[in-house]
Chains A and B, each alone.
Chain A
Amino acid sequence: MFKKMLAFILSTVLFLSLVPVQAEASFPPVAKEDIKVGAIFIGPKDDGFTGAHYNGVEGMKEALGLNDDQILYKFNVPENNETDIALRELIDAGCQIIFGNSWGYMDFMMEIADEYPEVIFSHCSGYKNNGVNFNNYFGRIYQSRYLAGIAAGLKTQTNLIGYVAAWPDNAEVNGGINAYALGIQSVNPEAKVYVKYINSWGNPSLEKQTAVALLDLGCDVIGQHVDSAMPQVAAQEAGKFGNGYNTDMTSVAPDAHLTAPIWNWSSVYTAQVQAVIDGVWEPVNYFLGLKENMVDISPLSKNVAEGTQEKIDEARTKIVSGEWDVFTGPLFNNAGEQVLAENETFADGDITGGLMTTLLVDGVEVK
């Protein structure tokens, strides 16, 4: 009896091992003319954040030679059941892959992904993955912020740099502040970063007031993680300097702007849609950086201090080559406790969430 059982078990194991494992996670190739790409975006196409995504999808369209009618956009989609409605419309319209660009879409997309296993759902800024047809993508924008910080650290005279930040206790926001501060300190160990949170992703008048308040505290360079260019306008009006965000804000504040961390979403959109066309899309999370050209900084303006380009190039080379990254120990928080030992680095999970959610590094003060 036992032998029979053993034989049965062994033969079952043998049989199962012959079945290709990857079958469950693969999608058939799609002819380029037949592909339809859906995108649900939190804002209108001309705001900073969604605008960068829109340019990214349009860039993908150009790169792959798709037609206008192969890309279906939904703008201003709120994070409630209308997310669900928008997704279903896009599924109904025959999209093979649907992108979403706001944190609050993640769980809606993940749940609907179970319902439609033949459609691919790809969400920006989150961390979940269902191993079948739902993944996340995001960029190492902190690398760009580090480079922008170098420009700020070399420019400041007062050694005080202001930062108009969106939300407290947010890993993306705090990660940005920390990287910016580390970039500043890499060239100017004396400098401090004063942070004010405005509790909004974008509110032009509040952004400006906050920048003015930081300037009043003695800051002479203003960094930002909010949507509009108003902090840069405030810096210009005060005769001071700043680092924008999302787009090259030099045109808005020609005498103040140094350089801005910018997104280049088309690289990740192109890579994923190409993978769908080729039938090789896999449910892996994308977290690309300077190396893959997913993030960058806008061209340095005439306002930067002498030697900025060299310092930035030096840091860029180290990051792109992979020999070093921004969050490498020793690293201390602003309470003086060591968070990373010598040469220790953060796991990606502690950059997109986890520890970064509440971390502020040494030299950062919330005002």
Chain B
Amino acid sequence: MSERAIRPIQFHVVQRGETTPLQTWLYRLAAVGLAIVMGGLFLWVLGYNPFLVYAAMLKGALGSAGMQKETIKLMIPLCLTALGVTLAFKMRFWNIGAEGQICAGAIAASYFAYFHNGMPRTLLLVVMAVSAIIFGGLWGLIPAYFKTRFGTNETLFTLMLNYIIGYVITYLREGPWRNPEGGFAAMPRFVKEARLPEVWFPGVGNIHIGWIVMFIMVLGIFFYLRHTKQGYEIAVVGENEATARYAGMPVGKIIMRTMFLSAGLCGLVGMLQVSGPDRQLTDAVANGRGFTAVSVAWLARLSPAGILVVSFLFSVMEKGCSMMQTEFRIPASMSEILQGVILFCVLGAEFFISYRVVRRKEKA
């Protein structure tokens, strides 16, 4: 046995130099391909025909106008929430609290829907939207204030606030806002005036007006980040806080303002959900979207157009997996594993875009 054979193989990770856009996209394509193959293997091991399952997924997400409609309805909150967290992420403020900010917005909107629903419909919906933005924004302002004033860790702070507001919804459901009808605790349905109108989406059919808000926001956030002074300030604070301060920028104010906008947009998502598809306030109003949106924003590299594409793909996957469950009796947990495999590969590719693994050279 030679001495060489027992020497452990060693690897180390080095940062890549410049990656060309072509390389980047090749890696991503390879990752998606790998994800599909791995997911297919997984299905095959379980005893399903992967081709049929994938076909059913696509059909389930896009196969008919009805399915496309549901896919878009999943996409609206995901895309808008991802845009919301992007504002904070650009500034390197890790807003993991979108989940709670959605809930906060939903609560504010529901307050008007339940207790002040006598006003004209348009006015009521505007009041609901504005209050959702303000309350969601204020909820996000709390960690921003503590961050700028006391230097608290915003990741933990925003995360923990999610639980608090989640229990506020439970409290409202069990107590003051409970529907007196019936033996179980639940909040009542919204009156007709508090429900979003539906607008024709080309080629698909009527979808609640949130889809228009989504497209406006994609353009709006793109413009805001790219072409306004405030957008520039966000970028500078994100790159280097010291530079920003040296340049005379009021860093604290920028952080608070941006976080208010970020959380306010998430709050608006809460209003669109309760008033659009949910038609009542439930404790499942955010249902994990606030976390999925973080993945969406990162995969899209914080680009609004990218977020539009990625949130669409995520929604296709989610809707497809749901269909897979119906059609092949694949357990829900299995479709979650499949989603996990796909995410793992795609997120893993991002690592290999920035870094590469080299085998350590033998010492002579």
Q: Which of A89, A127, A170, A175 contacts B322 (CB 8 A)?
A: A89
Contact status of A357 and B326, CB under 8 A, knowing A75-B332, A79-B282: no
Q: How far is the CA of A76 from the CA of B64 in the complex (A)?
A: 24
Q: Does B70 contact A (CB under 8 A)?
A: yes
| Least distance between B76 CB and chain A CB atoms (Å) | 10
B184: A residues at CB distance < 8 A: 103, 125-126, 167, 170-172
| Least distance between B207 CB and chain A CB atoms (Å) | 12
Q: Does B295 contact A (CB under 8 A)?
A: no
Contact status of A72 and B278, CB under 8 A, knowing A81-B273, A92-B64: no
| Least distance between A164 CB and chain B CB atoms (Å) | 18
B323: A residues at CB distance < 8 A: 89
Count, chain A residues at interface, CB 8 A: 41
| Least distance between A352 CB and chain B CB atoms (Å) | 5
Within 8 A of B (CB), among A46-76: 68, 72-76
Q: Does B189 contact A (CB under 8 A)?
A: yes
* Residue interface bits A121-142, CB-to-B below 8 A is 1, else 0: 0000111000000000000000
Q: Does B141 contact A (CB under 8 A)?
A: no
Q: Which of B181, B185, B325, B332 contacts A169 (CB 8 A)?
A: B185
Q: Does B331 contact A (CB under 8 A)?
A: yes
| Least distance between B181 CB and chain A CB atoms (Å) | 7
Q: How far is the CA of A89 from the CA of B326 in the complex (A)?
A: 8
Within 8 A of B (CB), among A100-157: 103-104, 107, 111, 125-127
Q: How far is the CA of A107 from the CA of B281 in the complex (A)?
A: 12
B322: A residues at CB distance < 8 A: 74, 85-86, 89
Q: Does A93 contact B (CB under 8 A)?
A: yes
Count, chain B residues at interface, CB 8 A: 37
CB-based contact A103/B186 at 8 Å: yes
CB-based contact B326/A93 at 8 Å: yes
Q: How far is the CA of A44 from the CA of B335 in the complex (A)?
A: 13
CB-based contact A357/B66 at 8 Å: no
| Least distance between A145 CB and chain B CB atoms (Å) | 15
The A-B contact count (CB < 8 A) is 100
Within 8 A of A (CB), among B87-134: none
Q: Does B277 contact A (CB under 8 A)?
A: yes
Q: How far is the CA of A47 from the CA of B277 in the complex (A)?
A: 28
CB-based contact B325/A82 at 8 Å: no
Q: How far is the CA of A167 from the CA of B185 in the complex (A)?
A: 9
Q: Does B8 contact A (CB under 8 A)?
A: no
A111: B residues at CB distance < 8 A: 189, 279
CB-based contact B325/A73 at 8 Å: yes
CB-based contact A353/B181 at 8 Å: yes
Q: Which of A84, A89, A104 contacts B60 (CB 8 A)?
A: A89
Q: How far is the CA of A81 from the CA of B275 in the complex (A)?
A: 11
Q: Does A78 contact B (CB under 8 A)?
A: yes
Query: Which residue of chain B is the closest to A356 with respect to CB atoms?
Result: B183
CB-based contact B282/A104 at 8 Å: yes
CB-based contact A357/B331 at 8 Å: no
Q: How far is the CA of A280 from the CA of B149 in the complex (A)?
A: 70
Q: Does A354 contact B (CB under 8 A)?
A: yes
Within 8 A of A (CB), among B325-345: 325-327, 329, 331-333
B74: A residues at CB distance < 8 A: 85
CB-based contact B285/A80 at 8 Å: yes
Query: Which residue of chain B is the closest to A168 with respect to CB atoms?
Result: B174
Q: Which of A44, A74, A78, A127 contacts B182 (CB 8 A)?
A: A127
Specify which of A72, A89, A170, A171 lies most central, judged by the most chain B CB atoms within 10 Å of its CB.
A89
A126: B residues at CB distance < 8 A: 182, 184
| Least distance between A175 CB and chain B CB atoms (Å) | 8
Q: How far is the CA of A126 from the CA of B183 in the complex (A)?
A: 8
CB-based contact B183/A90 at 8 Å: no
Q: Which of B185, B287, B327 contacts A170 (CB 8 A)?
A: B185
CB-based contact B182/A353 at 8 Å: yes
A318: B residues at CB distance < 8 A: none
28 residue pairs A–B, Cβ–Cβ below 8 Å: A68-B329, A72-B326, A73-B329, A74-B325, A74-B332, A75-B325, A76-B332, A78-B287, A80-B278, A80-B287, A81-B73, A81-B276, A81-B277, A85-B74, A85-B322, A86-B322, A89-B60, A103-B184, A103-B186, A104-B186, A111-B279, A167-B174, A170-B184, A171-B183, A172-B183, A172-B184, A199-B170, A353-B182
Given contacts A73-B326, A104-B282, A171-B183, 15 further A-B contacts (CB under 8 A): A44-B333, A72-B326, A72-B327, A79-B284, A82-B287, A85-B74, A85-B319, A90-B326, A93-B326, A103-B182, A103-B184, A126-B182, A175-B183, A353-B182, A353-B183
